[in-house]
Structure 1
Amino acid sequence: MLLSLALAILTWKSPTTRTAAVNGLLTLGFVLASFVVFGTGLPLAHWDRLLRSDWRNYARSFPTILQLFVYLEVTPSIGSLLQLQPSRMKRAIFVGSVLLLILETAWSALGLALVPFHGGLREDPVTVLLRQGGPVASAVLGLGCFAVVTTILGTNLALRSFCRGAKLLPPSWAYSLGVLLPALAPKGAFFAAIDFAGAYPVTLLWGCALPLMALRGQNKTKRKTLLLLALFLASLATVVIYAVQDLGLLLLSRSARWA
């Protein structure tokens, strides 16, 4: 709660460039913690553990995977920092996305190679690594702290850009509600919110709305038009599938994502 409040005040009171500079330093800490994680974890990894697989829960995890695309919410902040220069914005988003993809893939592989396997992996690998103690646990804890703080700052920047155009409430009130309400949410609400957001808002915003906006633009080739249409239809079909599943759960007196 105190951390959320401090980061919220920093983001609201400071210029975008200053908040970005702070976030840059924290990102550097994240990178250094990543090196420590790999430096201490690689000698202990058992790579044959990567051969184990169980894809039965993949479909249920898909909304959470889609949640990774919310990093695109920092696009307005990138535009402000790079003075709305399209070529620089595209390069920054592309390079940042590739680096994150490499890091996420490497971390996932290392995490699985470090976690023992006893009749099935029933716990979060991060929880298992933290419980084991030692240098790997300390490095993972530091990595997680930097990841959380940088994510909050990036989200706060996007929220500030949105709230400054708020009509129903004063910008400061809209921003305060957007920051504090998640911090006051009960335990377990975070993961439920991620599941809901990945299944509906994220898919609708990034998978449906953006392709439609791009289709209304100019200078579209036939190939680009077909790709945008395919993305829109696939995203729309995903939302419909989740809605049908949730309606089925609701009819069976079970809890749907939005109920």
Structure 2
Amino acid sequence: MPTFRPCNRHRCVGRNHGGAGQNPSLRLPPAAFGDAWDDDNDAPGGHNGCDTRDDILNRDLTDKTYVSIKRCPDAVATGTLHDPYTNATIHFQRGARVGQSVQIDHIVPLALAWDMGAYNWPYPQRLRFANDPANLLAVSGQANEDKADSQPALWMPPNTAFWCQYAVQYVAVLRGYALPVDQPSADVLHRAAATCPPDNPQREQTRNPPNAAVNVRFCVCSPSLGVRVGQRVLAHAGAVVEAAERVHVLGG
């Protein structure tokens, strides 16, 4: 496991994700992806009066109460997280220390994305990526710290029941932002896809524009995947594998 703290606040300068695209001459500047959770961005949910962290807490937590704060008139004060990474149930209470039990994870980490090509993006695209709900999940703080900026070859959720959905969302983000993946991580994503249920033609298909936010728990889908959108709905293994094969594999 990585030993440094995660880039939970967009301020990562460490390297331990094993990215094959890593270029030591292109070190991640502290503000490369903008200020943490800035609402002034063009991602879905931007400019809505609440910062991105509050948007994701509101999307992913249940049994919520709210409080008005400076950066959000309806910020989540308390709630319950059914953590997809560990399958634990975590009580959230807003506060400097208590609130860290629930953190917001970038499924494709910022530092990894930087090394894999985001260093060449214009600033507005990096800001969008950092705040795109399609790449964000509320998760256990400890799991987020364990993951840090690791890619799938180095870290997968301890909850193996979530591997299918993790692969779906990871691949959707890679394709949506034209990011490559190295061969070891591509292999892991394929194995994760093998845990998905078989295709069911009776399931309704719902397509969404690229990088669109889907306000359903643990399911953010890309049109290239052709999967049904719904609460805790798992994707079709064939669709994940097909999409993963269309992601550029470094050295492949």
Query: Quick check: TM above 0.5?
Result: no
TM-score of the two chains, using structure 1 as the length reference = 0.27
Decide which structure has greater strand share.
2
Task: Normalising by structure 2, report the TM-score.
Answer: 0.28
Structure showing greater radius of gyration is: 1
Structure 1 or 2: more helix by fraction: 1
